[in-house]
Structures are given as C-alpha cells and as structure tokens.
Chains A and B, each alone.
Chain A
Amino acid sequence: MQTSAQNAQNLTSRLANPTRFMSLSATLLPWIGGLAAALIAIGLYLAFFSAPPDYQQGHTVKIMFIHVPSAWLAMGGYLLVAVSSFGLFVFRHPLADVSAKAAVPLGAAFTFLALVTGALWGRPMWGAYWVWDARLTSVLILFFLYLGLMALRSSLDDEALAGKLTAILALVGVVILPIIKFSVDWWNTLHQPASVLRIGGPSIHASILVPLLVMAAGFTFAFIAMHLMAMRNEILRRRVKALTLAEVSRASSSVPAGAKG
C-alpha cells in the first residue's frame, strides 16, 4: 500500500512532464474556474443580502469580504513563489520555475488589491487612507518585492540564469511573510490583530465569518485557475521560443557554406 507521501511524490513526478501537465490542466481548468465563479457569486450574495452591518464598522465591513481574501492571497502567492523556487533548486523540477514565474504577477495583483481596498476601508474607519503602521508597511514591502522579482527576471536575457537569480531573491524575501503575519503582535499597530486565523478560533460572528470564508474560497480557486492558465502560457511561450530557435538554426544550416556572409 502506498503512503500519502509516495502518492504525492508520484503525482509530482507525473506532472514533471510539461505535456502531461498541459493535458491535465486543460481538463481541470473549467472545473476550477467554474467553482471559483460559483463561490464568488454565492459570496457576493451573502455579502450584500445576508451579512448584517457590523456594530462598529456598519456596512463598511463589506470591504473586508474582498480585502481579507486579497491579503491572504498576497501572502499565499508569495509562499507559492518561494516553494516553487525551493523546488527549482532542490528537486530541479522542470515546472518549478514555470510555477514561480507564473505566480509573481498574480501575487502582485492581489497585494495591490489588498493595499487599495485597505486604504478605501481605512479612510472612513480610521480617517486616513494610509498610515505607516507595521502591517501596512510590511505589505507594501511585499508589493515592492513582487515588482523586484518581475524586474530582475525581465532584466536578464539568459532565462536559466534569470530563473535562478529570481529564485534566490524569492527565497531571501520569504522572511517578509512572518513579519507581515506577526507585525500586529510584535508592534503596536493601528491595524487590528488576527481575527480569523488565531489561537482559540475566529472571533467573528458567523453571519460575517461565513460570507468571508466563502469569498476567500472563491478567490483562492480563482487564483489557482489563473495560476494554471499562466503556467500553461509560459510553457507555450517556451515552446514557441525553442521552435523559433530550431527554425532559425535549421535555416542557417541549410544555407550553402559559400553563401554565408
């Protein structure tokens, strides 16, 4: 009987073949995308027609239903980049760099959404769009880290070298994740402490917690679907590049020696 670790290893090795990944992801994508759309639709219904106004925040609590999932995915996206980068160095998995590269713009987009929706919540609740609070500042650093990963990769022509250098930066930058998570405990912040992922369970009433978790699940499946799409695009781009080089090489080798400049 196979252990769960063996099963996971078999799945990982089966997915190491990009062609097999393309085939499997094409089958899974419509289901994951459909599930994401359904969960987000249910979440929106619960957010606007079921969840009551918060006793302190009033209707502004509705912003939390999109702010919190965006913030979780900002961090989850970076964790995915870091794990993929680890996979590139340790397991030399053929899809590790593809996964890391595909996750970066998505993580950056959700970090941007977390920052801006947080600002739009902060203005009516705190009286300010922005404060240099430890949580807000550390998430802003995460956003710059994502931009740095994209800039570093695009600044190098050698794709293999770009992948390795980006992976090193991603692994060094992973230190930002515990700083973000525990910033509200380590420092005095205006940002409230954890109220869902905390020891002792969530401190939010079910009428607010359920729409939040449904939206978080919907956003997560949307992220997974977009990540699969981005990975498929990157595999296609690499195939196009390889075939273009093969075509150029074939054309130059078929030119008679005397005709070469």
Chain B
Amino acid sequence: MDLGPHAVFIIASYALVAIVMLALVAWLVLDGRRHQRALDALEARGVRRRSHTGEQAR
C-alpha cells in the first residue's frame, strides 16, 4: 500500500491512537480486576454491604 510522501505522519497518527486506546482498555480492565479482588477478599472475611442479598453485582 502506497501512502505517499507523508506516510510517516499517517502511520504515526494511527499507531498513537492504537496505543492510547489499548492502554485505556488495559488500564480499565486491570483496575476493575484489582477492585473486584479487593471486594472478594473483604467479603471472604465476612464484611458485607447491608444491602447485600446474595446477588453478585458483576
């Protein structure tokens, strides 16, 4: 595929967008897992929300 004389600018733009969007998704997934693990650990120690009726809010 010929992207012309300014190919480096086009490739850099798409690479940057891909990196930032993938980094956002990775951060969100890892952050969610970290909180879920902490919540599971607390519930395993018997600390539960007053409104907790056994449903898993996942």
Contact A230 B28 (CB under 8 A): yes
Chain A 209-253 interface residues, beta-carbon cutoff 8 Å to B = 222, 226, 229-230, 232-233, 236-237, 239-240, 242-244, 246-247, 250
Contact A63 B10 (CB under 8 A): yes
Chain B 1-38 interface residues, beta-carbon cutoff 8 Å to A = 1-7, 9-10, 12-14, 16-17, 20-21, 24-25, 28-29, 31-32, 35-36, 38
State in angstroms the CA–CA spacing of A106 and B56 once bound together.
27
B47 to chain A, nearest CB (A): 5
Number of B residues with CB within 8 Å of any CB on chain A:
36
A-side interface mostly: helix
For A105, the chain B residues whose CB sits under 8 A away are 24
Contact A233 B28 (CB under 8 A): yes
For B3, the chain A residues whose CB sits under 8 A away are 59, 62
- Residue of A62, A70, A236 touching B36 (CB-CB under 8 A): A236
Given A19-B57, A233-B28, A247-B45, answer yes or no on A240-B17 (Cβ-Cβ < 8 Å).
no
Contact B47 A246 (CB under 8 A): yes
Chain B 44-58 interface residues, beta-carbon cutoff 8 Å to A = 45, 47-49, 51, 55, 57-58
Residue from A53, A66, A105 having most chain B Cβ neighbours under 10 A: A66
Number of A residues with CB within 8 Å of any CB on chain B:
42
Contact A60 B9 (CB under 8 A): yes
Given A113-B20, A121-B13, A236-B35, answer yes or no on A48-B49 (Cβ-Cβ < 8 Å).
no
Q: Is the CB of A124 closer than 8 A to any CB of chain B?
A: yes
B-side interface mostly: helix
For B7, the chain A residues whose CB sits under 8 A away are 59
Total A-B pairs, Cβ < 8 A: 98
For B49, the chain A residues whose CB sits under 8 A away are 239, 242-243
For A123, the chain B residues whose CB sits under 8 A away are 9
For B28, the chain A residues whose CB sits under 8 A away are 226, 229-230, 233
Q: Is the CB of A9 closer than 8 A to any CB of chain B?
A: no
Contact A67 B21 (CB under 8 A): no
- Residue of A48, A58, A63, A243 touching B13 (CB-CB under 8 A): A63
State in angstroms the CA–CA spacing of A213 and B15 once bound together.
20
- Residue of B17, B45, B57 touching A117 (CB-CB under 8 A): B17
14 further A-B contacts with Cβ under 8 Å, apart from A109-B20, A250-B47, are: A58-B4, A60-B6, A62-B3, A113-B20, A123-B9, A222-B21, A232-B32, A233-B32, A236-B39, A239-B49, A240-B35, A242-B49, A246-B47, A247-B42
Task: State the B residues within 8 Å of A (CB).
Answer: 1-7, 9-10, 12-14, 16-17, 20-21, 24-25, 28-29, 31-32, 35-36, 38-39, 42-43, 45, 47-49, 51, 55, 57-58
